[in-house]
Amino acid sequence: MTDIQELEIIVKALSEKKAEKLTALKVEDITSLANYFVIAGASSTTQAKALADYVEFKLGEKDIKPKNIEGTGAAGWIVLDYIDVVVHIFTEEQRDFYRLENLWADGKIVDISAWE
């Protein structure tokens, strides 16, 4: 499966569960960490956990498991590392604190509107 196909599954899963301010950045030209970052907002810690669980479920259906998972819904942030695509899920407070869009501003915004 290509990283674009993974990205599509992730965006669709997050959209289905009503993620807020969904953003995808192409970062492969500026970091070796991943090809894409997905940043999603959650209205609560419960929703953050539900979003992460659903992404894991949908990619798991394709036999794709995360390399690593950091954070917890209770902490207000969760990171799912799928090597080529890294998913960041934040509550609004944590998203404002970490400001990943600003940190990775040199990344290219990916048009995900067809998948939302």
- Tens of pLDDT along 43-83? 999 999 999 999 999 999 999 999 999 998 788 999 999 99
How many distinct helices (H) and strands (E) make up the chain?
4, 6
Mean pLDDT score, 33-41:
97
User: Domain range spanning residue 83?
Assistant: 3-109
Is 100 within a domain? yes
Which amino acid, one-letter code, is at 84? D
Is 74 within a domain? yes
Residue-level pLDDT at 102: 93
Structurally, how many domains does the chain consist of? 1
Is 115 within a domain? no
Is 41 within a domain? yes
Give the confidence band of 38 by pLDDT, cuts at 50, 70, 90: very high
Is 47 within a domain? yes
Residue-level pLDDT at 72: 82
Is 116 within a domain? no
The CA R_g of the chain, rounded to the nearest whole Å, is 13
Q: What is the CATH number of the domain that holds 59?
A: 3.30.460.10
